[in-house]
Amino acid sequence: MPKLKYSTMVQNVVLILGIALTLLACKKKDKVLKEDWLIPREEIKDGGPGKDGIPSVDSPQLVTASSISYLADDDLVIGVKIGNVVRAYPHPILDWHEIINDGIGTDKYSIVYCPLTGTGMSWNRKIDGVTTTFGVSGLLYNSNIIPFDRNSDSNWSQMLLKSVNGDKAGKAVQVNKSLETTWKTWQAMYPQTTVVSTNTGFNRNYENYPYGSYKTNNNLLFSITNSDTRLPKKERVAGVISGGNARVYRFGSFADSITTINDNINGTPLVCVGSEKDNFIMIMTRVTSNGTTLIFEPIQDSLPIVMKDGSGSRWDVMGNAVSGPRMGEQLKFPPSYMGYWFSWAAFYPSVEIYN
């Protein structure tokens, strides 16, 4: 029998090892799917890449806005402001990585984004006193990302805002305030912003959208439990959750100028401030720390200042009173975020549309 060349033997060993690792990964995934879940197991889908197959970006490199060339004015970003520190997390990077683990000072958070449902938000990484990081499990529910936390290995539903499997099952996640808008608007609001660099440690073409025509066509890649034809499937809407119920606001309810909507949901007074032209909607409570319910009206041409109350106090888009008798006060933010209409209808079948 002829002797195998050394290189051939190595290739065979690598092939066998690869097959073994693939079988082990499939066995682990099958085991996870057989465990107890708070969502229907038959509705949990395998997205394909596997656990950490879509790699999160941990401790991202940040650069100044003036040094960025890969972003167009109309590219969407998720903006965070803590104290005087302002950062932007662009969709073109999140489309490839879905999760960015970061922090400002003692505030540790993860930007969790699902390109299939268009939902992005900031999650507190401190759970039961322990700071963790989140990763992409490779599993989906209602076409929506299921992150896992690396400390307890529990799985979380992004749009349900809670753990649905593992040691933390049933625990709610703390959502921090963040704003989704265009790169142009975010820079107009906060010219001092830093932004995530394309030097992520991974070889990705961040100027190329990885899902083809998905944003503009009417097709879904995975099944959902409830379909609602009241709005186009992929219309971007801002939604808020209160008492298990949800309400969404359309950009058509906001003029090209800054517009405020003083509203109530389940007895909670809310103010929605936004602009169709500037491509943002922000939702916050309109009750002060001493229990006073405010009525807001818009302020034009003063970004990031967007509204004022009856006392004449002026408020910015992040819910901070920046001048007037209430200067220094902050409004609270209920669980709210932007997303495609179909995803809101899938997770919250009785969702209301503000008219």
What pLDDT does residue 24 have? Answer: 46
Q: What is the CA radius of gyration of the chain?
A: 22
What pLDDT does residue 355 have? Answer: 87
- Residue ranges of E strands in 125-267: 126-127, 130-131, 134-141, 144-149, 155-157, 162-165, 175-176, 179-182, 194-196, 236-242, 245-250, 259-265
What pLDDT does residue 243 have? Answer: 85
Domains in the chain: boundaries: 29-196, 236-353
Alpha-carbon span 351 to 164, nearest angstrom:
21
Residue 282 identity: M
What pLDDT does residue 64 have? Answer: 97
Alpha-carbon span 115 to 243, nearest angstrom:
26
What pLDDT does residue 20 have? Answer: 47
What pLDDT does residue 226 have? Answer: 96
Task: Match domain 236-353 to its CATH number in 2.40.50, 2.102.10, 1.10.10, 2.20.28.
Answer: 2.102.10
What pLDDT does residue 264 have? Answer: 95
The answer to whether the predicted template modeling score (pTM) of the entire model surpasses 0.85 is yes
Task: Divide the 355 residues of the chain into consecutive groups of 10 and give the mean pLDDT of each group.
Answer: 48 52 47 76 94 96 95 98 97 98 97 98 97 98 98 98 97 97 98 97 95 96 96 98 93 95 95 98 96 97 98 98 97 96 97 95
DSSP 92-123: HHHHHHSEEEEEETTEEEEEEEETTTTEEEEE
DSSP 293: B
